[in-house]
Every structure is written in C-alpha cells, then in structure tokens.
Structure 1
Amino acid sequence: MLDAELLERITARRSELDDLDEQLATQLAQVRTGRDELAVAERILERITGQLAEERASAESMPGQVGGQAVTLIPHRAPGVEEDALPWDRPPSRR
C-alpha cells in the first residue's frame, strides 16, 4: 500500500513539474519575443535619430537668402544656449 501511495505522489509531482515546464517555456518565448521587439525598436530609434541629426546639420549649414544675398542663419536663442552655439563665422556680440 505504501508503494501505491508513493507512486501516486510521484505521478502527481511529475504532473505539476510538467505543467510548470510548459508555463516557463511559454514565458521564455514571450520574453524572447519582447527582447526581439525592443531590439527592432532600438534600431528604428537610432536610425530616426541619425536622420534627424543629419537634417538639422544640413539645415544649419545651408546659408539663407535675404534680398538675394546669402546670409548665415542664426539659431533661435533658447534658455541655456550660450554664444558658442553660434556658427563659427559669426563673432560673439559685445556686451
């Protein structure tokens, strides 16, 4: 009788472990899918950030036109932006 009870406990525990194995396999698949999606999102963000930086640099380096004359475009002064943010060919203003 002891052998039958022990065998029943072993069978029950094996069933519990099989269920847990299945749950963990599902969770692991979800984690891997999530990591793959994050890697794709990161690559897209890097590409977009690079494109925006190139567009900004291109726009800043292009001279503007005023009355048919080429002029250097000066970025709008924002809080925390110092005079060294001005284009290299523009001297800082006197204070």
Structure 2
Amino acid sequence: MMDPEVLERIAARRAELDGLEEQLVKQLSEVRAERDELAVAERVWQRMSEQLANERTEAGSPVVQVAGRAVRLVPDRAPGVVESALPAEYQRILTAVRQAAGPVSTRQIGEVLGLDTGVRGKLEPLRGKLTKLADRGWLHKRPDGKFTTRA
C-alpha cells in the first residue's frame, strides 16, 4: 500500500498539471485565432496592394488622399522620373505642347485637346494643369503666359 503523503503529493501535482494544461489549451486557442486573423489581414493587404498598383498603373502616377479625396500626384521632373509617371491627361498635354511649333497659349492647347475654348471656365482647369506641369519642371511658362517644353 502507498504512503498517503505520496498519494497526496501525486494528487496535488496532477491538479497543478491539469491547471497548467487548461491554461496552455486556452493560450493555444488564442494563438491559433490570432494566426487566422493575421492570415486574413495578409490576404486583404495583398489584395489592396494589387488594387493600388493597378490604379497607379492606370492613372500613371500615385494616388493619395487629400482632405478625404483621391488626388493624383504630378511628380517633379528629375533624373530617373519618366514622363509615363504622369497621369495620362498630363501626358496628353505635354504631347500637345511638344507638337506645337513654338510657345503655345492655354487656348491653343485646349483646341488641340478638343475642349470648348469659347467657354473660359473650360480653360481654367487646363491652365491649372499647364501651370502645375511648369511648376514641377515638365514645361516652361513664359512671362507672356505661353508654355514651351523644356529641353
């Protein structure tokens, strides 16, 4: 027959191990749940990254949020920054200025692009884009308000 003290120690150790097992099972469950959440987050991130990459490719330049609105960035002209980094509309404007024989006005570019040049309100957004291209180094804005390409 076993000593009652030994039986008591065995029972106490068994209870201690049962409690530890319960804690480990709970921790393992939490770890698995978090790992599943991370897997879902990774898939969502991957999908969003692909969508953003597609949008940037289609838009031709990065899209950022400004005051809650999506805005395309027009990058500064710099070594290594190619014209294809510009949004498609800005590329069309650059092409129209490049094809002109000399300095061109906003109205002339509007005519080339097929805008209704008789309405001043239609030309102001174009003037803003031409100015932005000049500010970023893609075009040169002359003192008379006409634009030329940069060499």
Instruction: Compute the TM-score of the two structures, normalised by the length of structure 1.
Output: 0.69
Match for residue 83 of structure 1? Answer: 79
Moved over 4 A (4+): none
Moved more, 15-24 or 2-11: 2-11
Q: Give unmatched runs, 5+ long, in structure 2.
A: 62-72, 85-90, 95-137, 139-149
Match for residue 47 of structure 2? Answer: 47
1:1-95 matched pairs, under 5 angstroms: 3-60=3-60, 75-77=74-76, 82-87=78-83, 93-94=150-151
Name which structure has the greater RCO, CA cutoff 8 Å, separation 6+. Answer: 2
Post-superposition offset of 1:86: 1.7
Secondary structure (helix, strand or coil) at the match of 2:60 reads helix
1:39-85 per-position Cα deviation (integer Å, ceiling 9, x unaligned): 10011011001101100110118xxxxxxxxxxxx9321xxx73322
Q: Give unmatched runs, 5+ long, in structure 1.
A: 62-73
Distance 1:16 1:76 in 2: 65
| Aligned sequence identity (%) | 48
Secondary structure (helix, strand or coil) at the match of 1:83 reads coil
Secondary structure (helix, strand or coil) at the match of 2:75 reads coil
Distance 2:12 2:6 in 1: 10
Aligned residues: 77
**Code of the aligned partner of 1:23:** Q
